[in-house]
Amino acid sequence: MTFLAKSLSRVKPSPTIAITTKAGELKAAGRDVIALSAGEPDFDTPDNIKDAAKAAIDAGKTKYTAPDGIIELKRAICNKFKRDNNLDYTPEQVSISTGGKQVLYNALIATLNPGDEVIIPAPYWVSYPDMVLLGGGTPVPVAAQIEDNFKLSPAALETAITPKTKWLIFNSPSNPTGAGYSRAELKALTDVLVKHPHVWVMTDDMYEHLAYDGFEFCTPAEVEPKLYDRTLTVNGVSKAYAMTGWRIGYAAGPVELISAMRKVQSQSTSNPSSISQWAALEALTGPQDYLDMSRPIFQKRRDLVVDMLNKADGLVCPTPEGAFYVYPSIAGCIGKSTPEGVKIENDEVFATELLSSTGVAVVFGAAFGLSPNFRVSYATSESELITACTRIQEFCASLN
Ligand SMILES: Cc1ncc(COP(=O)(O)O)c(C=O)c1O
C-alpha cells in the first residue's frame, strides 16, 4: 500500500517539462542545445505593465484580495470581453486565478463527478486530460486529423457525445497545433452542441491575440448565443502580454459555476497575487502596442519555420492560423533508421534521437495525443530558428 493518493497514480507528469529538463541537463554538460519546447513568448513583459506592478507594491497593494480577484480587474475583464468578443458579462460572472491553468482546474474540480466524460479534441494541451483525471472525470480524446488541419469535425464531435458528457474543452488557436477555427468552422461545432443541452463548453482562448494573416478570432458564446448559459470563456494575460511568470488567468460564465469555482479557490490558493492582478489590469486597459509589435514577428517566424520544415525529408508541416507552435507530421520518417542504427519507430524515438544527435529539443506528438508528429515552439529568435530547422533538415536527410 502506498502513502500517496490513488487519484495521483492515474496522472502523469508533464512531458513538456521532462523534455525541457533533459535539454537543460545536456546544456549544463556543455552541449550546444536549442530548445524549441518552451510554451512561452521569448519577449520581456512590457514596461507599462512592470511599472504598474511596482506602483502597486509602493502603494501597499500587497495584501490578500477577494478570493477570485479585485473588482477593478473584474470590471476591466468585462470591458475586454465586450471590446474584443462582443460578450456581455458582469463582475459577478468573472473569476480570476493563478494562471489560466488554475481557472481550468477550478472549473473541473467544481463540476466533475465520477463517470463524467470530458471531450478533448486531440492533439490537445498536455494538461487537459490529467486535470480531468485529477477531478475524478474521464477524458474522452477525439482525434482531429492533419488532413483537416487538426480541427475537430462536427461528425466526430456528434459521435463522441454520450449522456455522460459534461464538458467539451475547446482551444483555438490551439496548443500544440496552432490551428484556429474560422467562424464557419466553429458554428458547425456549436450547431452540434445546441442539440445536446447537457453538454457545457469550456473554451480556452489563451492564444486569442496570437493570430496571423488577418485571422478573425471567435469564441463559442459569441458565435452561438444559445450556448452563453453553458459556456465558460477562459482567457489570460500569460501568452498575450508575455506574462507567464505573473500567473494571472481569468474566466467568465454563469454565476453558479463562478461561485463554485470561487469556493475551490478560497480553500486552495485564497486569491491570485495582488501585485500581479494590478499588473494584469494595466495589461488589459493600458496601451495595446505590444500586441501589434509581437504579432508580425511571430508571423514571420511561423512562415520561416513552416517553409524550412516542409523542405525536410519526410516531414509535412501545415501552416497554422495562430499561437506560436507548428505540429509537423513525421509519417515519412517512420521505419527509417539513424546512421547509428536506431529505428524511428514512433515520434518519441524521433524526438529523443533528434535531441541527442543535433541538440534540438522538440516535444513528441504522443504527449499531445496525436502521432506521429512533434511540436515546435517558435517563440525564439529567428537566428536560432534557422539553425534549429537546418539541423532538423540534416537529421531527416541522414535517416534511411
Ligand atoms: C492552451 C493553454 N491553456 C492554458 C495554458 C496555461 O496558461 P497559464 O500560464 O496562464 O496558466 C497554457 C500554457 O501553456 C496553454 O497552452
**What pLDDT, on a 0 to 100 scale, did the predictor assign at position 38?**
83
Q: Is the CB of residue 323 less than 8 Å from the CB of residue 207? A: yes
pLDDT above 90: percentage of residues in the chain = 92
DSSP string, 177-244: T-----HHHHHHHHHHHHT-TT-EEEEE-TTTT-B-TT-----HHHH-GGGGGGEEEEEESTTTTT-G
* Residue pLDDT, tens place only, 183-206: 999 999 999 999 999 999 999 999
- CA–centroid distance, residue 357 to ligand 1 (Å): 30
129-140 as b/e: b if 16+ CB within 10 A:
bbbbbbbebbbb
Q: Is 107 left (phi over 0), alpha (psi -120 to 50) or beta?
A: alpha
* Residue pLDDT, tens place only, 329-374: 999 999 999 999 999 999 999 999 999 999 999 999 999 999 999 9
**What pLDDT, on a 0 to 100 scale, did the predictor assign at position 142?**
98
Residue 56 has pLDDT above 80, yes or no: yes
Residue 18 has pLDDT above 80, yes or no: no
Give the β-pairing of 165-171 and 117-122. parallel
Atom of ligand 1 nearest to the CA of 104: 4
- Whether 357 is in the pocket of ligand 1, judged by its Cβ within 6 Å, is no
Give the number of other Cβ atoms within 10 Å of residue 285's Cβ. Answer: 15
Residue 52 has pLDDT above 70, yes or no: yes
- CA–centroid distance, residue 203 to ligand 1 (Å): 12
**What pLDDT, on a 0 to 100 scale, did the predictor assign at position 37?**
87
**Hey, what CATH class is 6-44+290-398 in?**
alpha beta
Give the number of other Cβ atoms within 10 Å of residue 122's Cβ. Answer: 22
Atom of ligand 1 nearest to the CA of 174: 1
> In CATH, what is the architecture of 63-285?
3-Layer(aba) Sandwich (3.40)
Q: Is the CB of residue 284 less than 8 Å from the CB of residue 77? A: yes
Residue among 45, 95, 96, 101 to mutate when testing ligand 1 (max atoms within 8 A of CB): 101
**What pLDDT, on a 0 to 100 scale, did the predictor assign at position 20?**
79
3-state secondary structure of 343: strand
Q: What single-letter DSSP state applies at residue 284? A: H
98, exposed or middle or buried, with CB in 10 Å at 0-12, 13-18, 19+? buried
**What pLDDT, on a 0 to 100 scale, did the predictor assign at position 6?**
84
The yes-or-no answer to whether 6-44+290-398 and 63-285 have a common fold is no
pLDDT above 70: percentage of residues in the chain = 100
Helix axes 382-398, 347-358, angle to 10 degrees: 110
Residue 290 has pLDDT above 70, yes or no: yes
Amino acid of residue 141:
P
Residue nearest to atom 14 of ligand 1 (CA): 39
Give the number of other Cβ atoms within 10 Å of residue 60's Cβ. Answer: 8
Residue among 17, 102, 175, 202 to mutate when testing ligand 1 (max atoms within 8 A of CB): 175
Global pTM value: 0.96
Residue 21 has pLDDT above 90, yes or no: no
Residue showing cell 470530458 = 118
**What pLDDT, on a 0 to 100 scale, did the predictor assign at position 10?**
82
* Residue pLDDT, tens place only, 267-287: 999 999 999 999 999 999 999
- Whether 322 is in the pocket of ligand 1, judged by its Cβ within 6 Å, is no
* Residue pLDDT, tens place only, 90-135: 999 999 999 999 999 999 999 999 999 999 999 999 999 999 999 9
Residue 39 has pLDDT above 70, yes or no: yes
Q: Distance (Å, rounded) from C-alpha 180 to C-alpha 322? A: 6
**What pLDDT, on a 0 to 100 scale, did the predictor assign at position 1?**
60
**What pLDDT, on a 0 to 100 scale, did the predictor assign at position 109?**
97
Average pLDDT of the chain is: 96
- CA–centroid distance, residue 241 to ligand 1 (Å): 13
1, exposed or middle or buried, with CB in 10 Å at 0-12, 13-18, 19+? exposed
* Residue pLDDT, tens place only, 306-326: 999 999 999 999 999 999 999
Residue among 238, 241, 277 to mutate when testing ligand 1 (max atoms within 8 A of CB): 238
- Whether 236 is in the pocket of ligand 1, judged by its Cβ within 6 Å, is yes
**What pLDDT, on a 0 to 100 scale, did the predictor assign at position 327?**
98
DSSP string, 349-398: HHHHHHHHHH-EE-EEGGGGT--SBEEEE--S-HHHHHHHHHHHHHHHHH
Terminal Cα-to-Cα distance of the chain (whole angstroms): 48
Q: What single-letter DSSP state applies at residue 251? A: E
Q: Distance (Å, rounded) from C-alpha 366 to C-alpha 368? A: 5
Residue 174 has pLDDT above 80, yes or no: yes
- CA–centroid distance, residue 53 to ligand 1 (Å): 22
Long-range pairs of 342-346 with CB within 8 A, sequence gap ≥ 24: 344/399, 346/371, 346/372
Residue ranges of domains in the chain: 6-44+290-398, 63-285
